[in-house]
Structure 1
Amino acid sequence: MKKVIVIGCPGAGKSTFSRKLSAKTGLPIHYLDMIWHLPDKTTLSRDEFIKRLDEIVAQPEWIIDGNYLHTLPLRLNHCDTVFYFDLPLHICLAGAEERVGRKREDMPWSEDTMDPEFRQWIIDFPTQQAPVIDRLLNDCNAGVNVIVFHSREEADNFIEMLPDHPTLR
């Protein structure tokens, strides 16, 4: 496990898991939201985003946290492990609402309120995004280890079972 992607509905716990995984393994994290979104609430061009992502996947070790379905095939072609958070919608909505107003290392700004459009995107995730993710995961290389979590407890148990990274002891 050297090239990892972490995907799933916003609010599911992807970034928390990515931080725990990085702490346990020593793998560097790259948050797609931090690449795509600029501090002034604008975004990179798609070409620049892909260029930055190409630079990351060329590295020997990484965790890439985030969905961005238009780049998922690229990441699937370079990863060895996928962690997919397939949690119930109410858990994801609550998780997204809990982080409103909090400074986060995975986003260049914090919101004071839940954006209605973002909330709707979460609500639509199971019918709009999840089927695309499922299809791409079914079609990915046989050598890619796909691990699906249906609860945060499953994710935490996975982290607990991992040995500590030798250079982090």
Structure 2
Amino acid sequence: MDANYKPGTDDASGAAAPVTRKTFDEVMVPTYAPSTLVPVRALGLDLWAQDGKRYLDFTAGIAVTALGHANPAVVEALRSQADQLWHVGNGYTNEPVLRLALAITQATFAERAFFCNSGAEANEAAFKLARKYAHGKFGAHKSRIVSCVNSFHGRTLFTVTVGGQAKYTEGFEPLPQDISHIAF
């Protein structure tokens, strides 16, 4: 093998090479163990793999994006927003975020909205908020979080510790403290 070879290329020139599930094993950190099929397009619940076979995706996405694939209304909303303003970070605010925050605060108990990039980030914020509240109301000695063994709250250090699954925490010590686990 050429010393300049890079996985995913035909040769040292960097020309595009076909990528397959085997490419995952060569270049990805195996946080998850994905299926052997590699989807190349999708519509609704239908996925088409590299081999041209059609599969039904009963998850219709993953977790918070379970909207179906290429949902026309979602695609149009994304296109419309992309034509106006892309992600600007936290240094600015923007009209869609402000409208959503107003809708949430007007329809719920909440006086303010807090948006996150992921479920792990939202869960971590919730754990921190619970500890902050308990600290202010009862004192620093009230910091314990109780969670079920083998639960899942995300992949940050705090959320995997709260989840109570050794396979996600071994080797990452020291872990956040004052977390207890009970059977579910």
* Range class of TM-score, shorter chain: under 0.3
TM-score relative to the length of structure 1: 0.21
If asked which structure has higher relative contact order (CA below 8 Å, sep 6+), I would say 1
